[in-house]
Chains A and B, each alone.
Chain A
C-alpha cells in the first residue's frame, strides 16, 4: 500500500508540488524563526560569556545592562582589588550612543577596553588593528556592512571624532552593534571620567566566587555582586521575555500552515479520487490499509517538504548574511531534529480529515456509472 500511496502522490505533479512547497515554506519559516531566536539569545549572551571575569560588581538595583543603568565609582576598584581572593579588577564602561552617520541616525554600544589587557574588547578582528589609538574605534562588521562603513572613516560620537581603525565580529546584539574604544577615549566620549558601569573581578586560582562575592557585598550595601552565569542569564532574559512569546506564536502559525497545506492537498486529492478510494474499499481494503495509504502520502509530502524547507532555510540564511546583515539565524542540529518531529506531526494531523472523509465513502457507490 505504501507503493500505491507513493504512486498516487507522484501521479499528480502539480498537487505534489503545492503540497511539498507549502510544507517547505512552513519548515523554512520555522527553521528561520527558531534560528533567529537562538541567534538573538546567543548574541546577547555571547559577549558576556566571553569576558574572562568570574564576578561582576554593579550598582545595587541593576537589572540588565540594556534596560538599567549601573554606576560604580572607579575608586571602588582599588578597594575591591584588596579583598582576599581577588586577582584583578577591570573597569566596564559601556553605553549605547546615538549619532548621525551618512545623514541617518545610528546606534552603537560603545565599550571601553584596555588594548593591553583586552578583557572587554572585540572577540575577533576581521580587518584593521586591534589596538585603537586615542581617536580610534573598532566597529562590528554587521554595523560596518549595514552602514557602509570602511576603515579610516570618521564617526562623530558625542562631539568626538573617531576614526575607524578596525572591524571586528562577534559584537552584534541584533538591535545594535558594539563599537570598541580605549578606556580613556570611552571616558571622554561617554562623559564618565571617574565612574564605571561595572567592575569585572578575576579571582585568584584557589578563590571561591561565592565567598569573594559575599565579601564584596559586605564591603558596601550600594554594590550588587553577580557571577558571570547570573549576568548571562539576566541579559538573556531580555531576549526570552521580549521575543519568545512572539516567536512561539509565529512558530505555531508556521506549524498550522504546514498542517493546513498538507491536509488540504491530501483532502482535495481524496475528494477528487473519492471513487477510487471507494473501489479500494469495495475490493476489500481494511481501514488500517487506507490509513497507511493516506498517512504515507501525507508523510511523503512532509518528508520531501522538510528536506526542501531546510534547503530553502539554508539558502535564505546565506542570502540574508550577504544582503540583510541584521537578519541572523543560527541553525543547530537539535532544532532540526525537533522540527523534523514537528513536520511528522504535521503529516499525522493532516491525515486526520482526509481519513474521516474516506471513512464516509460508501464502497457501494462504485457500482454507479
Chain B
C-alpha cells in the first residue's frame, strides 16, 4: 500500500534572478513498512524535501499525497491534524521541550490529540519502556544524553501511531554508538510496527539499514550508484560527491576526498589519525 506519493514536486524559494529551486521535479512513491534513506550533501534540498513531505511547506508545483489524500487545498487546521495523526517527526536536534520530563515530552502529541491524561501517560511509559528508556522517564532533557534524547524523540514520534515517520538527520548529533542504536531502533520500528520511515541524512553509516537509498543533489532525486561517484570524507565521515569535493589527497595509491577546506586542513595536520579509519572503511 502506498503511504506517500510525490508527483513532480518542485519547491522554489525567491523570485526572478534570486530564485532558488531547492527541490526540482521530484517524483517518489513509498510503500508501507519501507525505510527510505535520502542522502545528499549540505544544501542539496534534503531538509526542504522533508518539510514538504511533513506538510510544513507547500510545493510550488506538483502534488504530495499521504494515504492517497492530496495535501494541496488543506487548511492550516487540517494540515495540523494531518501532522498530528499521520506523521511522526524525529529531528536532528531532538527538539524536546525543556520544561517537560521524558514521559511528558513523549505524551505531548497525544495531549494535542485530546487523549486523556492517564491514557497518554500510560502510552508514553509503554513506548519509553520499549525503547529502553523507562528508567529515564522522570528526567528532563537536560539530564539525558544525546542518544537518550533521540530515543525519547522517537517515542514522541510514535505516540499517536502515525503510519509515516520523518527523520531529519537523526544521528547527526550523536556519537557512533548512540547513532547506531538509534538507527537500529528506527529499523525495528519500521519492521515491527510496519511504519514507513523517510530519513534524510548525509551520514554514510545509515545506508545499511535502508530498504531503499536515494540520492539528492541540486534538488533532484537520483539513483546514487549510477549517477554519482561519491566518497566518504575521512575526517568528518560525510558522504560527498567526488566531483564537488573541496580537495583531495593521494595516499598510498588511494585518493581521499574532503568536503571542505576545514577537513582538508585537519587531515594535513595529522594524516595518521585518519588513515587507519579510511583503510578499514574502504578496505584499500
Contact = CB atoms under 8 A, between A and B. Distances in A.
A249 interface: no
A362 B56 CA distance: 8
B51 A364 contact: yes
A12 to B, nearest CB: 8
Interface residues of A, number: 28
Interface stretch (A98-106, A200-208, A276-284, A340-348): A276-284
A3 B117 contact: yes
B80 interface: yes
Contacts of B98: 11, 273, 276
Given A276-B98, A366-B95, A369-B173, A285 B117 contact: no
Interface in A342-369: 362-364, 366-369
B197 interface: no
Contacts of A12: 99
B210 interface: no
Contacts, number: 82
A7 B100 contact: yes
Nearest to A10: B99
Nearest to A289: B112
B54 A279 contact: no
B109 A284 contact: yes
B104 A367 contact: no
A1 interface: yes
Interface string A274-310: 0110011111111101000000000000000000000
A285 B56 CA distance: 12
Interface stretch (B81-89, B227-235, B269-277): B81-89
Given A11-B98, A275-B95, A276-B97, A367 B80 contact: no
A286 B77 contact: yes
A11 B81 CA distance: 28
B108 A287 contact: no
A367 B84 contact: no
A243 interface: no
Nearest to A9: B99
B111 A284 contact: no
Contacts of A275: 95
Nearest to A368: B47
A369 B83 contact: no
B172 interface: yes
A289 B104 CA distance: 16
A362 B48 CA distance: 13
Of B54, B85, B156, B173, which is in contact with the most chain A CB atoms at under 10 Å from its CB? B54
Contacts of B172: 369
B57 interface: yes
B173 A367 contact: no
Contacts of A366: 91, 95
Contacts of A4: 97, 99-100, 104, 108, 111
A60 interface: no
Interface string B146-188: 0000000000100000000000110011000000000000000
Contacts of A368: 47
Interface string A41-76: 000000000000000000000000000000000000
14 contacts: A4-B104, A10-B99, A275-B95, A276-B98, A282-B89, A283-B89, A283-B109, A283-B112, A286-B81, A364-B51, A364-B57, A366-B95, A369-B92, A369-B173
Interface of A: 1, 3-4, 7-8, 10-12, 273, 275-276, 279-287, 289, 362-364, 366-369
